Chain A
């Protein structure tokens, strides 16, 4: 599971690439150039091995058996929670609830906290740039309870319009905002918004799905009361994500899913819920996935998140310049211009080639980019486009990957020029 640390030195991407077995693959006879980490990242060998080793040597259900391997499995599972908690600056492991992904984490808040605290006379504020995961649960709440859902709008420059933030947050009980847009890469000023929200008496839910994997994360510095994250975008396996919340807040919330694991006692006439965080983990949890996630946290920590951010920011800046230099006004990059104000995500439109067609052309060159609405339809409506092509970066991408992308885009001309 150990990764020999580079302890914050600049990333040695050539070496990192060797840790990701899938990058040896060829597609259509070409080297695989994976530029879709915002959809899901690839996994280093250490994550795959940790999970295999767990199944080969330690698997048993957690929190149940008294026998040796059951204890070891429980320890590994709880260690993963502790690692994840430390990775995001939580005060302790019991502030992290494992879920199946970020979507379930947001739904946990919407169903548990939301239904206990939000009624027809209440309001919450979210934004136009949210992923559906942090938007539809609020629409659903509005539909059920008549809660007012207010929306911070996007400006043409790719930033949120904050001029009405105070006004919108007046009397609201929750602000639900992403820390990084999965389409534009926009990094909203979460701390500033959180301060405004807190002054208005609202709690703050931060969608960290695109942030936690790429920038040093400290829930205290962000000013978050809830943070949702997802394992498969941070070099970990699918099937695990989580919700961080302050302990008192979690304790004040009613259970979400119910059944085994989450109870302390059950009688014919009622039940007593378990302590947090287990109160929110009904049923057998994703144990092997937690072990894999812990290995991913180890991997990222060994690289050092400041170094990860520096690398991805530099690469984003390189990509934006290279695209502009090669294609000038024929290529439009959506979202904020300076790379230091965006995550490693570049959504673009080339001439009037549709994103699907662009993605198909790039696929032929072995390049994986996402084409579509990226589960952010309100944002796409605001941009006035149905789909964008999106390249996104992770620790295993380098300038050669960007060069391959830049070269291949022009090949669309042979068909659509």
Chain B
């Protein structure tokens, strides 16, 4: 099969790969580039486990063709912590027991980051709305909602 080149930045570093045309971004990230933090729970756009941020927008990487991401800036959960220091969302998910099996967690954190990037002090309803595309089968949504609200609070405390 003819290969097509793709080039983008992933969590700030340059990546280039030759892929089969039609390869999803999820597949390219996980199996070609080696960032396995986005998860494939359904490969059909229903679970949110594969959520990543592309050029400031939350996207399902299982429904995004890698070849459409040329020149894009992509962020995933694996790039969130800096110098071994956890991002406030990661800290909050840890502290509030918002992760059990952990399979939904990277997608949840991406969806939550997207929300906090635009709405630093969200209401509970805004959190619920922002996470509504992400399925968690273990934890129950309440601790996850609390984690996002906790992270928002700790952000604003740090800013103050």
A and B are partners in one complex rather than unrelated chains: no
Q: A: which residues have CB within 8 A of B?
A: none
Q: B: which residues have CB within 8 A of A?
A: none
